């Protein structure tokens, strides 16, 4: 997308202990200028490593974010963390509506919209995830599902600055399968049209990431597709060398 700074983002999911901080350090050191001026980078470690990760990345352009937040600012929600807590740890992004949250925690579009609003209130950029399941894809429902998820999960206040979309086909996550470049192009163009219909100029500048089995070997092809403004990477973000190799395809 013209005039958009792509974002290469890693989602560590429920992986990583203090030993893994060497990987954060290596990524923080590996994303320096000049490429970092053109491409933004982000790692979302588990909440237990958030604060120490931001400390390790202070002198680096690498951003650090959370993997989820509660929709409320604080209160009686045992086990949850708030957007304010992520910001308090110097995180600048938060993923909301990842398919693993939608499935494992029965999160609805309405909850995800509220989480994105909580992120804005805390000054965080929300990465709002959407994507169809394999069954929905086989039934040719992909675009209908995405339309519904985008409409339901994105708040009215979404802007190009406070919101990133991640298109993650559920059947491509952690499976080694990816859609063809042509399919990614069709879906991202559809998402772009939907964003422009609803948010006008802001929708033109919102970044749309592709996620689902992005690896060093397929990144170049996927990232070159029109309206693909970066990647959300699970498995391949755990190893600094893989993450940096994907970043290096820009
Ligand atoms: C993800 O969970 O956001 C993801 C894309 O995972 P993977 O890269 O491992 O498929």
Cα 168 to ligand 1 centroid, rounded to whole Å: 8
Cα 10 to ligand 1 centroid, rounded to whole Å: 8
Residue 2 has pLDDT above 80, yes or no: no
Q: Is 232 in the pocket of ligand 1 (CB under 6 A)?
A: yes
Kindly report the length of the chain: 250
Peptide bond into 216 cis (omega under 30): no
What is the pTM for the complete model shown? 0.98
Backbone angles phi, psi at 222, to 5 degrees: -70, -40
Separation between Cα atoms, residue 129 and residue 168, nearest integer Å: 7
Residue 213 among known ligand-binding residues: yes
The ligand 1 atom at the shortest distance from the C-alpha of residue 233 is 8
Specify whether 98 is catalytic: yes
- Domain boundary assignment for the chain: 7-247
32-69 confidence digits (pLDDT tens)? 889 999 999 999 999 999 999 999 999 999 999 999 99
CA end-to-end span of the chain: 14
Separation between Cα atoms, residue 70 and residue 189, nearest integer Å: 31
Cα 148 to ligand 1 centroid, rounded to whole Å: 22
Cα 211 to ligand 1 centroid, rounded to whole Å: 6
pLDDT at 166: 98
- Ligand 1, atom 5: nearest CA belongs to which residue? 212
- Ligand 1, atom 2: nearest CA belongs to which residue? 234
Separation between Cα atoms, residue 143 and residue 237, nearest integer Å: 28
pLDDT at 33: 82
Residue 235 among known ligand-binding residues: yes
156-197 confidence digits (pLDDT tens)? 999 999 999 999 999 999 999 999 999 999 999 999 999 999
Three-state secondary structure along the chain? CCCCCCEEEEECCCCCCHHHHHHHHHHHHHCCCCHHHHCEEEEECCHHHHHHHHHHCCCCCCEEEECCCECCCCCCCCCCCEHHHHHHCCCCEEEECCHHHHHHCCCCHHHHHHHHHHHHHCCCEEEEEECCCHHHHHCCCHHHHHHHHHHHHCCCCCCCCCEEEEECCHHHCCCCCCCCHHHHHHHHHHHHHHHHHHHCHHHHHCEEEEECCCCHHHHHHHHCCCCCCEEEECHHHCCHHHHHHHHCCC
Three-state secondary structure along 114-149? HHHHHHHHCCCEEEEEECCCHHHHHCCCHHHHHHHH
Which residue among 40, 70, 98, 100 is the active-site one?
Answer: 98
Residue 1 has pLDDT above 80, yes or no: yes
Specify whether 168 is catalytic: yes
Residue 14 has pLDDT above 80, yes or no: yes
Residue 110 has pLDDT above 90, yes or no: yes
Other beta carbons less than 10 A from residue 104's beta carbon: 9
**Mean pLDDT score across all residues of the chain:** 97
pLDDT at 32: 85
Q: Is 213 in the pocket of ligand 1 (CB under 6 A)?
A: yes
For range 216-230, the mean pLDDT: 98
Which residue among 40, 100, 107, 168 is the active-site one?
Answer: 168
The ipTM assigned to this model is 0.97
Q: Is 168 in the pocket of ligand 1 (CB under 6 A)?
A: yes
Residue 12 has pLDDT above 90, yes or no: yes
- Ligand 1, atom 1: nearest CA belongs to which residue? 234
Q: What is the CATH number of domain 7-247?
A: 3.20.20.70
Other beta carbons less than 10 A from residue 17's beta carbon: 9
């Amino acid at each position: 997308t013209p005039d958009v700074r792509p974002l290469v983002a890693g989602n560590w999911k429920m992986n990583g202990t203090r030993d893994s901080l060497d990987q954060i350090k290596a990524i923080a050191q590996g994303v320096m200028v000049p490429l970092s001026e053109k491409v933004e980078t982000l790692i979302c470690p588990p909440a237990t490593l958030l604060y120490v990760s931001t400390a390790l990345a202070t002198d680096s352009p690498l951003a650090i974010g959370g993997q989820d937040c509660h929709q409320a600012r604080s209160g009686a929600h045992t086990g949850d963390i708030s957007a304010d807590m992520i910001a308090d740890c110097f995180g600048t992004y938060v993923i909301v509506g990842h398919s693993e949250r939608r499935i494992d925690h029965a999160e609805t579009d309405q909850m995800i919209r509220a989480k994105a609003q909580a992120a804005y209130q805390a000054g965080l950029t929300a990465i709002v995830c959407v994507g169809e399941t394999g069954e929905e894809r086989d039934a040719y429902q992909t675009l209908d599902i995405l339309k519904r998820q985008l409409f339901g999960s994105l708040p009215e206040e979404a802007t190009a600055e406070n919101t990133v979309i991640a298109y993650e086909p559920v059947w491509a996550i952690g499976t080694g399968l990816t859609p063809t470049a042509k399919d990614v192009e069709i879906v991202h163009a559809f998402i772009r049209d939907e964003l422009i219909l609803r948010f006008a100029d802001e929708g033109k500048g919102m970044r749309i990431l592709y996620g689902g089995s992005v690896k060093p070997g397929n990144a170049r092809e996927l990232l070159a597709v029109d309206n693909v403004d970066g990647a959300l990477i699970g498995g391949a973000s755990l190893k600094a060398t893989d993450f940096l190799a994907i970043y290096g395809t820009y």
